[in-house]
Amino acid sequence: MTTPQYQPGYAPGYSDKSKVVAGILGILLGTFGAGRFYTGHTKIAVLQLVVSFVTCGLGAFWGLIDGILILVNGGTDAQGRQLRD
């Protein structure tokens, strides 16, 4: 059995991604799924992009709300680890 590898400077179980960066990307570039691409949730990011394209930009509200929720509640990266503050 191997021991888990942790990045120096980060608590075990926490992501190396920042919730502030993910939230700001979600608010400013949510139309393009940038916050979700940043955290590694590629499928959700592509879905945000497609919804925004199909609805002629109205899907941007999804990214805006998603970014605010990440800032308020935090979130996880693609491996399920909590985003750091």
**How distant, in Å, are the alpha carbons of 12, 13, 52, 83 from that of 63?**
29, 26, 9, 18
pLDDT tens per residue across span 10-35: 556 889 999 999 999 999 999 999 99
Q: Which residue has the tokens 């990045």?
A: 7
Q: Among the residues of 1-85, which ranges form H helices?
A: 19-29, 34-39, 42-54, 60-73
Reading the block at residue 12, the tokens are 């075990």
Domain boundaries, the chain: 24-84
Q: Check if the beta carbon of residue 53 is closer than 8 Å to that of residue 16.
A: no
Over range 27-52, report the average pLDDT: 95
pTM of the model: 0.82
